[in-house]
Structure 1
């Protein structure tokens, strides 16, 4: 994919290396700390006690705890990293992701009147969102509550190493798919599906979830269609990289590789064949009106 030298989106929240906060799971609870404050104040009035307090503060600082929180009784926060330096490869992936996001902005602003651009949050290990806390193992996701896409860049390495889905256009497909969920949020389709939770059986709700995911794949294909038409950014093999990625994350393939069994009623994202078919349909037509996965005769 030809992406270097192109515009990068300003809608990127780079949280790599930052603490996502935490619970009060330390050695001391907030209540216990408050009880110890008078003792600390007494210690610092003597030379020996001052040395002891100094040692404690030094230990807290170098283990990532803010010493000021000890005095205020707040044990929930840690000092956040402000000098994170990623590897050259990781920084390149961050630039790549920002460039792909910018391209989706350009395309969807042309297709959807008054398009509201989402934010891409890049994190490491764990993150807090309006949808709750998540770890890298969750994989890339979109949160409608704050209209943000979340991704740990290590996922791209997992795609290549564990899923056998390498390539920059495979990575672009992942970002475009999450933007597809943002489109669904803007159209209200996401809310319609969510409103059915608890009103239908789990099997039926899973089917609705599959349709939602396949539509996001279709929207990713629509983006690729228009991006290629306008920018000619795709290179030989790029389309196959995206289709290979869609195939790699099909429910049937993931289940078979994980457990050796395939349970269709538990599918939430669609089969490999379905995901490939809907991405390809979006890519070939470029017509958002042809992406009604919910009423399609054959998924």
Structure 2
């Protein structure tokens, strides 16, 4: 993808190097400070800190890890590699390209496209949708209209899933932005309302249709990006390979050696490739109706 030198989105929040713990009931916790010189107040503070230390460990938070990651705790600013800096620039360009495409498509329908924010984090993050670690992969939170991404996921995408290349990475960002589009047009709110009365199997089946539509929306973005002449040889193959590698059946076969179709919630490799390709070929939202008929 020809991305260097192009506009970078200003809707990126870089929270790498910050510690984001689980939210506590009642909001922020302030630690009590003992009196200078120790004494009874100082001893009480030490006892409370010890209790807090083991309390945090009990709920799965490593206080030492938090101190190591928090520059304010005396560790200094987190050093970012040149690769990470370049990767963050790439993500900003891809996000800007999605903004341009969706602004044009919404405007053609007489509507306004509200741009999402993209949050870069490292390790773990607190969002309006709750606490998450990088293990969950990139995700979109409809509550705050933000995409959350740990750039290390791109390394996993290449090494663990065999989906290397800049357009494979662009597909991931475009897919999450596709969820934002769904949120804006009402698909996600309807799904979240319906799932309250669904069984787990029904919710999984509906989730597949939601995810496949986001793949199709990513394909729409790729269609219009190709029209700008920004794609290079092999880019489409990289995106299709990424869609294949993160299909439910392929992931389950890789991790556990067998597949459980009733547990699928993102779609098979073939389904994900098909719907990305459908958006790519047509460039139209009307071609991405995954909710009517077989998928």
TM-score normalised by length of structure 2:
0.83
Whether the 8 Å CA contact 1:65–1:78 is kept in 2: the answer is: no
Question: Could you tell me which residue of structure 2 aligns to residue 104 of structure 1?
Answer: 98
1:202–1:23 distance in 2 versus 1, CA, 3 Å: closer
Q: Paired residue for 2:294, among 286, 295, 298?
A: 298
Question: Could you tell me which residue of structure 2 aligns to residue 254 of structure 1?
Answer: 251
Gaps of 5+ in 1: 25-29, 54-62, 67-76
Whether the 8 Å CA contact 2:23–2:131 is kept in 1: the answer is: no
Question: Could you tell me which residue of structure 2 aligns to residue 8 of structure 1?
Answer: 8
1:177–1:64 distance in 2 versus 1, CA, 3 Å: closer
Q: Whose radius of gyration is greater, 1 or 2?
A: 1
Q: Paired residue for 1:279, among 265, 271, 276?
A: 276
1:20–1:278 distance in 2 versus 1, CA, 3 Å: same
Q: Deviations over 1:185-236 (max 9, x none)?
A: 001100111112231221111010000000000000000101111x211000
1:260–1:79 distance in 2 versus 1, CA, 3 Å: same
Counterpart Cα distance in 1 of 2:150 and 2:266: 20
1:82 shift after superposition: 7.3
1:131 shift after superposition: 0.2
Q: Counterpart of 1:133 in 2: which secondary structure? A: strand
1:84 shift after superposition: 3.1
Counterpart Cα distance in 1 of 2:272 and 2:65: 44
Gaps of 5+ in 2: 47-63
1:148 shift after superposition: 0.3
Matched, 1:138 2:136: yes
Matched, 1:179 2:172: no
Counterpart Cα distance in 2 of 1:42 and 1:240: 67
Counterpart Cα distance in 2 of 1:65 and 1:91: 23
Whether the 8 Å CA contact 1:104–1:176 is kept in 2: the answer is: yes
Question: Could you tell me which residue of structure 2 aligns to residue 166 of structure 1?
Answer: 164
Q: Counterpart of 1:127 in 2: which secondary structure? A: strand
Q: Which runs of 4+ in 1 moved over 6 A?
A: 63-66
Counterpart Cα distance in 2 of 1:23 and 1:193: 26
Q: Considering only aligned residues, what root-mean-square deviation do their CA atoms show, in Å?
A: 2.7
Whether the 8 Å CA contact 1:206–1:267 is kept in 2: the answer is: yes
Q: Counterpart of 1:198 in 2: which secondary structure? A: helix
Q: Counterpart of 2:265 in 1: which secondary structure? A: coil
